[in-house]
Amino acid sequence: MDLANSVAIVTGGASGLGGATVRKLAASGAKAVIVDRDDKKGEALAAEIGDGVVFRKTDVTDEAQVKAALDAAANLGPLRIAVNCAGVGWAARTVNRKGEPHPLDLFQTVVNINLVGTFNVLRLAAAAMADSEPTADGERGVIVNTASIAAYDGQIGQIAYAASKGGVVAMTLPAARDLSKLGIRVNTIAPGLMDTPMLAALPDDVRAALAASVVCPKRLGSPADYAALAAHMIANPYLNGEVVRLDGALRMAPK
């Protein structure tokens, strides 16, 4: 898929991994719709990049709001790219030290945003792509989802997050198979310790310890690292149905 002149939708696109992806796609000549719940950051990024990039406040679990964001993309041209970066985390054990069970509503919230929200955007974006004419090489679109190495190495207290991201991993291949006849590819990135706003709030010594745990290179991953891989997945026509760990060979300890 040629990035130049393509239209993309990026969820969680106001900052972090999504923000870096929007910048990467725009720098490569693509137009983009920033999908996020943060008005201030979303509008600021759209204004910073300028022509061809717009912001739409969207809850990824809301069908009507996602459809409205896709309509905004259609105003820019045929939708070719969807990158799902929206997600949340929550730390709680299955049963805590007081003997209390994990709150069910919090588990449902994490799964609903990270897994159901990803699927909601995937299905609606794929339907929009299916209506467009294929490119010269037969492609109609590319979808890149975001999982986490927690899908494989979930730590103590990560049961909700790991379950949600494990679901994203598991639906990658069947989604790619389902959409193959439409000329739509699906891949997933499973990031490790990324230097996003969530980690930026940690004390410097904690951040340094986390960086030291990475095998090589000895640093936190950057949003630009993620964006570079997402752009490659979009551009490489033979990359399909794959989940790629982006973690510097890190394997997480139990805690």
Which residues participate in catalysis according to the annotation?
A: 161
Whether the Cβ atoms of residue 250 and residue 215 lie closer than 8 Å to each other = yes
What CA–CA distance (Å, rounded) separates 251 from 103?
28
Indicate the burial class of 249 (C-beta count within 10 angstroms; 0-12, 13-18, 19 or more): exposed
Task: State both tokens at 172.
Answer: 């990658």
Residue 241, sorted as left (phi over 0), alpha (psi -120 to 50) or beta, turns out to be left
DSSP 12-59: TTTSHHHHHHHHHHHHTT-EEEEEES-HHHHHHHHHHH-TTEEEEE--
